[in-house]
Amino acid sequence: MRNDALTEEECDRYAKDGYLLIKEMLSREEVELLGKAAREDRILDQHSYAKADGEGGTVRLSLWNHPTDTIYGMVARSNALVSCAEQILEGEVYHYHSKMIMKDPLVGGAWAWHQDYGYWYQNGVLFPLLTSAWIAVDRATRENGCLQVIRGSHHLGRIDHVLKGEQAGADQGRVDQILTRLELVHVEMEPGDILFFHANLLHRSDQNKSDKPRWSMICCYNAARNDPYMESHHPRYTPLVKVPDSAILQAGLKRFQETEEEAAAWLQPEADHSVASLERRD
């Protein structure tokens, strides 16, 4: 695991572009273990759910609110990742949730243009002081539906979101205009690369029409000083206990166990009020 602090130049680039790609942040051994644990994890699979993508496909993901002592939890709590999030958000952070995006060969669905803060705003989060670490578990390419971002779009502020299929997406007319002024970037990544991105950065991805999987794990952090003013399906401020980076390899293939404590960590998709409130608005 790369564990040096972000340089001033990297922090400036994040502030200007709304994202920062760190190559080979997880070592090959770490990301291989993570991928193997995830693909063999029956509990992760059983808790996965699908949402229509509005383009005839479905996206599949598993989402949990609290990091456990599995390998996923160790990645999310690792000193290296949390320290980057702290540098980016300029202070203490807590774990807002993590998810595994299971974009399978030939069937993996698309994600519509959106800002994460388009949803999280609905959860009583007052400032867009959140960052996501998008971890490439598999190689992500144009062919298998890598992440696409609009460089600098976090400067636009929050855009209205409407329901597309079962996903909330940013107002397309506005996105079309934005694309005439800002650059669209396909973020191709190797396993172990990590993309940190701002909660207001517009992003999307295509369906996976290739024969290669494109799984990714996303760890989302909120600034501790940005504690939501109301309860929602994602946690309010909960102290995050960091672990040394070596804990990732030590956790080895540790997967989710269906203990009561861990069962409670999962998001119940029906409790996703941010989408429900968009449904009502439509």
Ligand X SMILES: O=C(O)CCC(=O)C(=O)O
Name the residues that contact ligand X, by CB under 6 A. 101, 111, 116, 147, 203, 205, 216, 218
Q: Whose CB is nearest to ligand X?
A: 205
Nearer CB in complex with ligand X: 133/147: 147
In the chain, the N- to C-terminal Cα span, in Å, equals 44
Q: Is the distance from CB of 186 to CB of 148 less than 8 angstroms?
A: yes
Nearer CB in complex with ligand X: 84/218: 218
Q: What amino acid is encoded at 150 in this protein?
A: I
Nearer CB in complex with ligand X: 135/247: 135
Alpha carbons 273 and 119: distance in angstroms, whole number: 9
**Nearest to residue 114, comparing CAs of 152, 161, 59?**
161
Nearer CB in complex with ligand X: 84/101: 101
Minimum CB separation from ligand X for residue 7, in Å?
A: 26
Q: Is the distance from CB of 30 to CB of 61 less than 8 angstroms?
A: no
Minimum CB separation from ligand X for residue 124, in Å?
A: 19
Alpha carbons 156 and 203: distance in angstroms, whole number: 13
Minimum CB separation from ligand X for residue 247, in Å?
A: 25
Compute how many other C-beta atoms are within 10 angstroms of the C-beta atom of residue 135.
27
Minimum CB separation from ligand X for residue 272, in Å?
A: 12
